[in-house]
Homo-oligomer: A and B are copies of this chain.
Amino acid sequence: MQVSIFVLPTQKNMTTKDKIIELGRDYVQRLGYHSFKYQLIANDLNIKNAAIHHYFPAKEDLGVAIIEKDRSDFKLLTESIKKHPLKDQAEALLTLYINYYNQKKNLCIVGACVSAFAELPEKMALASQNHLETIQTWLINLLKQGQASGEFRFKEKPEDLAALWISALPGALQSAQIKGEAHLMQVITQLRQTLKTQQPT
């Protein structure tokens, strides 16, 4: 299920527009929305600043495109594994964050958005709201299925547990910048235990 940790940000057969979105997402996840600049992407692609404005007139437009790409990727991922055991599906979310850490991306896109929310353009605020909603809904559903099937045996409300997961993961990824990978793994260990899956004997 896990392909490669070090995915190349851009590939030859991608259009410039798509490369801009990919590189933009990278920088947003490393630096945050307000600290990422068109110039960084322009340098990487050996094009001029204004070329990016050709595709995305305002930074806000690129911001929205990045969020929607990330949301779309999330949907593709969850769709592709929806027949897998529920525990594996939950693990896929955890793996996502471990991969971010290994790629030195200490913000997930949703985390980057909420941590800059007060200064976010309105369209980006709406897009990030939709993105978070998508993740939350998927997770709640997963937890409900697991509770119903007995694959998970937690006593809490699925909504409450989902809230914990979608707060703790972005938070742990952020603080792992200071406390290191072990910190992220401690949080993930705790989250795994909340599911109360059958212990392998």
Contact = CB atoms under 8 A, between A and B. Distances in A.
A42 interface: no
B35 A119 contact: yes
Contact of A167 (B31, B32, B168): B168
A171 B170 CA distance: 6
Total copies of this chain within the assembly: 2
Chain A interface mostly: helix
Contact of A118 (B31, B189, B191): B31
A142 interface: no
A119 B31 contact: yes
Contacts of A191: 164
Nearest to A117: B177
Contact of A170 (B106, B161, B175, B194): B175
Contacts of A183: 163, 167
Nearest to A29: B118
Interface in A15-63: 30-32, 34-35
